[in-house]
Amino acid sequence: DAKTTQPPSMDCAEGRAANLPCNHSTISGNEYVYWYRQIHSQGPQYIIHGLKNNETNEMASLIITEDRKSSTLILPHATLRDTAVYYCIVLNDYKLSFGAGTTVTVRA
């Protein structure tokens, strides 16, 4: 399984963009990068995924480097409700392997 590395925590000011990095240097050519988040004790929530190209949806943007060894999740205007643990996952055999994500705290 391709491993991912994320910073354990980060703070962000409300209304500012939050940039969450993820390293996945052993990713294979056909493996997707997925981002999920979990707000305290709730079910994980799908955010976005990508293969090669940058992706954007109503929640976030995903920037994947050309060599695909790292990616950045961008929350364009963080709100207090975005406080959560964010997981970067390389999908392998359809199951999600949650590693140690990034605890993002949005401060007023």
Residue nearer to other proteins on the CB measure, 17 or 100: 100
The three-class DSSP label of residue 82 is helix
Amino acid at 32: Y
User: Which range in 15-23, 64-72, 73-81, 86-94 contacts other proteins by CB under 8 A?
Assistant: 86-94
87, with CB counted inside 10 A (0-12, 13-18, 19+), is buried
User: Which 12-71 residues touch other proteins, going by CB under 8 A?
Assistant: 30, 32, 34, 38, 41-46, 49, 51
DSSP lists the bridge partners of residue 104 as 10, 84
Interface residue list for other proteins (CB under 8 A): 30, 32, 34, 38, 41-46, 49, 51, 87, 91, 93-101
